[in-house]
Structure 1
Amino acid sequence: MDRRRFIRAGTLGAAGAAGLAAPALAQGAPQVRWRCTSAFPKALETLYGGAEDIARFVREATDGAFDIQTFADGEIVPAAQAADAAIGGTVQMCHVASYDYVAKDPTYALGAAVPFALNARGMAAWLYSGGGVDLLNEFFAGQGLHYLPGGNTGTQMGGWFRREINATQDLKGLKMRVSGLAAQVLGRLGVQPQAVGANDIPAALEQGTIDAAEWIGPYDDEKLNLVKVAPFYYYPGWWEGSLTLSFLINKGEYDRLPASYRSILATAARAATIEMQAKYDFRNPGALKRLVAAGAQLRPFPQDVLNASFDAANQVYGEINGQNLPFKKIFDSMMAFRAETYLYQQVPEYTFDTFMMIKQREGALGGK
């Protein structure tokens, strides 16, 4: 079954059961033309591809009646203005990492990633089965937006550093490109967070404007050629146990859609989310090998850095929770599930994965 037939089957099944053929329904469907601005450049095709995927899936499912045009970072507005463009109606929707808008409200970050939260599997479970999408939409409705998950990167790397980090004290005075609530957490440990766009990261590292930068993971980091300007590649990206990308849709435009189009849009967003994570999971292993061959020096963050960061994150959360009730409501739900999922995952998931990783190191799994 191809994607178009699958999406139709999931969203238009009731009409099919009543004997109405999908082409006849498409012929009577209203023509809708939307624009979606992405926060990402076309060169980072896995990230930018999330917007292209949802547009393609929606177009296929409606025989072109619902058409979404996609635009890269800067073609309509720069990434920093994408959410405002959707709120104001310059575009009908945007594709972003919503934590980039914590200056508006820290609750934006909960639709993307916050430090020491959920991995990709846990985030999907909480969003789709734990009420996360509904809770987030209670908040985003007040922002004039409708929220749909729009991709996942999986657990990210901790970034590229010009010098080694051997202890928490080595973070003091470090100028680092980092965003979201991670900037506030690292700021408590002496880091000086810097706002730098993806395309500007290599030059900023080479010129010493920044000392370190986090982006995504091996596949995208290789495209930015960061190994040439900062050799120490740290892991894990504890501030992004997974990054869920977001489709933020102008709420008035969303509410005006026919119910069938809203259903198709939601189904297409889920499909785009699966596509993105599958691409990263498939592409990252080979990219990491190539980066190491090119000189990347892999380093785990020292345990005292992780513990200090965890404690600082809890301090930040405590302060926000005391001042921001929408944040607290969503955060409490997410953290309650965090306790449950890591309890469960350490039984079957962790033990299976650990055994298989031992076998990989022994060379028993084949490959190169």
Structure 2
Amino acid sequence: MTKLRSTRRMFLASSVTAGALAAPHVARGQAPIVWRMATSWTKALPGPGVSADRLAERINTMSGGRMRIDVFPAGAIVPAFGVLDGVSSGAVEMGHTASFFWDGTLPGAAFFTTAPFGLGPLAHQTWIEHRGGQQLWDELYRPRGVRGLLAGNTGPSMGGWFRKPIESVKDIAGLRIRVSGIGGEVYAAMGATPQNIPPGDIYSSLEKGAIDAVEILAPVNDLPLGLHRIAPYYYMPGFNKPNGAAEALISLAAFAKLPADLQCIIENACAAEHSAGLAEAEQMNAKAIVELASLGARVTPFPSDFVKEAHDKAAAVIENKSKAGPVAAKIVASYRDALGAGGAWSRVEAYMEQALRAQ
């Protein structure tokens, strides 16, 4: 599979040139291989839900009709937070979700989506593809009979929606906040009460007063949820999710039964969707943040003492995460190395961008 991964972009480029995205064709009498993809998203949820549908379409078309992926939203086959179990048990062959949902049972899984104060989208992809991240991902998931691949990206997230203003870190005490990933542990360490609520239930929970705040994704994903009508304070930066990588979960047993070209198509379709999702997010977030502000969202920076406290607590939580087991320790060490390895160039990039914008 290493050889397949290393040539996936070359394959994608050549297949497009050769007309692989033309109308599907299946030999007469030959039934397509049908896989079911369970997702953690409501149907066509902006960002991840759209990526799931588009990923299936890519595979269907690139396979020339030899393979068909049927997409099922959260709850249709398995619950939103049951996708890993669904793929692992063989209930479905494939899933589209986010790795931080499994961090409680698979310590270290969250890093394959994002981590507080961690890698941005490009640096994260670099870690996965060139600095050993994919190999660690495979090692963590292999005992569950699944494999994870990057398959969409919503970009950096905002800090979330709050009913009341946060004037200092003291205002976090007792706050009931819907939050995903390691950020939940960070908020708990800061005195808040984190809640793990599926995306489809967020609005009703906020509307009923079951929670005081919501951290979800980026502006384009938040806009259609209408959270600004209940919790108008829209805080930044999104320290919990500097990256928004989605994962495709694939049954190792089902994958092994496929011919090599279909295996390669799946890998390349995932890589293509990761790139497309991120570019789309960048374009649509630029519009969505302006629209949200016009609708009354109060885009506001977190207080400096809040950010400092969150940073300190995040460092402690991640250090503790590294003690959860040998694989988690390797993941944390590798992720930290990636942060350091890209630091110098990231600072140069940031300086160049700032200098160019100043002209």
TM-score by length of 2: 0.90
| Number of residues of Structure 1 aligned to a counterpart in Structure 2 | 347
Secondary structure, counterpart of 2:321 in structure 1 = helix
Following TM superposition, by how much is the alpha carbon of 1:27 offset from its aligned partner in structure 2, in angstroms? Answer: 4.9
Paired letter, 2:281: Y
Q: Deviations over 1:92-113 (max 9, x none)?
A: 0110011112221222212211
Following TM superposition, by how much is the alpha carbon of 1:317 offset from its aligned partner in structure 2, in angstroms? Answer: 1.8
Paired letter, 2:330: K
| d(CA) in 2 for partners of 1:261, 1:192 | 45
| d(CA) in 1 for partners of 2:120, 2:302 | 18
Query: What is the match of residue 352 of structure 2?
Result: 352
Paired letter, 1:160: W
Secondary structure, counterpart of 2:217 in structure 1 = coil
**Identical aligned pairs, as a percentage?**
30
| d(CA) in 2 for partners of 1:12, 1:30 | 27
Following TM superposition, by how much is the alpha carbon of 1:344 offset from its aligned partner in structure 2, in angstroms? Answer: 1.0
| d(CA) in 2 for partners of 1:345, 1:8 | 24
Q: Deviations over 1:324-350 (max 9, x none)?
A: 110111121111111121221111x21
Q: Is the 8 A contact 2:87 2:249 kept in 1?
A: yes
Query: What is the match of residue 182 of structure 2?
Result: 181
Q: Deviations over 1:160-206 (max 9, x none)?
A: 00111122111110000002111111100001001222232223223
Q: Is the 8 A contact 1:96 1:245 kept in 2?
A: yes
| d(CA) in 2 for partners of 1:290, 1:167 | 27
Query: What is the match of residue 153 of structure 1?
Result: 154
Following TM superposition, by how much is the alpha carbon of 1:65 offset from its aligned partner in structure 2, in angstroms? Answer: 0.2
| d(CA) in 1 for partners of 2:77, 2:263 | 25
Following TM superposition, by how much is the alpha carbon of 1:13 offset from its aligned partner in structure 2, in angstroms? Answer: 6.4
Secondary structure, counterpart of 1:106 in structure 2 = coil
Pairs within 5 Å for 1:177-256: 177-256=178-257
Q: Is the 8 A contact 1:99 1:106 kept in 2?
A: no
Q: Is the 8 A contact 1:126 1:132 kept in 2?
A: yes
Pairs within 5 Å for 1:258-269: 258-269=259-270
Secondary structure, counterpart of 2:88 in structure 1 = helix
Paired letter, 1:112: T
Q: Is the 8 A contact 2:180 2:216 kept in 1?
A: no
Paired letter, 1:72: P
| d(CA) in 2 for partners of 1:179, 1:312 | 16
Secondary structure, counterpart of 1:346 in structure 2 = helix
Pairs within 5 Å for 1:1-368: 10=11, 27=27, 31-347=32-348, 349-358=349-358
Cα pair distance change 1:163/1:118, threshold 3 Å: same
Paired letter, 1:244: A
TM-score by length of 1: 0.88
| d(CA) in 1 for partners of 2:305, 2:356 | 28
Secondary structure, counterpart of 2:278 in structure 1 = helix
Secondary structure, counterpart of 2:108 in structure 1 = helix
Q: Is the 8 A contact 2:160 2:236 kept in 1?
A: yes
Which has the larger displacement, 333-342 or 152-161?
A: 333-342
Q: Deviations over 1:122-170 (max 9, x none)?
A: 0111111222112211111112111111111111000000111122111
Q: Deviations over 1:59-114 (max 9, x none)?
A: 22221101111111122122111111100111001100111122212222122111
Paired letter, 1:102: D
Cα pair distance change 1:356/1:82, threshold 3 Å: same
Q: Is the 8 A contact 2:26 2:32 kept in 1?
A: no
| d(CA) in 1 for partners of 2:226, 2:356 | 31
Paired letter, 1:53: R
Following TM superposition, by how much is the alpha carbon of 1:9 offset from its aligned partner in structure 2, in angstroms? Answer: 6.7
Secondary structure, counterpart of 2:164 in structure 1 = coil
Cα pair distance change 1:78/1:201, threshold 3 Å: same
- Spell out structure 1 runs of 4+ moving beyond 3 A: 11-14, 25-31, 355-359
Which has the larger displacement, 196-205 or 123-132?
A: 196-205
Following TM superposition, by how much is the alpha carbon of 1:310 offset from its aligned partner in structure 2, in angstroms? Answer: 1.4
| d(CA) in 2 for partners of 1:231, 1:82 | 32
Query: What is the match of residue 4 of structure 1?
Result: none
Q: Is the 8 A contact 1:11 1:263 kept in 2?
A: no
Paired letter, 1:46: G
Structure 1 unaligned runs (5+)?
Answer: 1-6, 360-368
Cα pair distance change 1:61/1:281, threshold 3 Å: same
Following TM superposition, by how much is the alpha carbon of 1:352 offset from its aligned partner in structure 2, in angstroms? Answer: 2.9
Which has the larger displacement, 104-113 or 92-101?
A: 104-113
Q: Is the 8 A contact 2:36 2:94 kept in 1?
A: yes
Structure 2 unaligned runs (5+)?
Answer: 1-7
Q: Is the 8 A contact 1:8 1:61 kept in 2?
A: no
Paired letter, 2:217: I
Following TM superposition, by how much is the alpha carbon of 1:12 offset from its aligned partner in structure 2, in angstroms? Answer: 10
Secondary structure, counterpart of 1:142 in structure 2 = helix
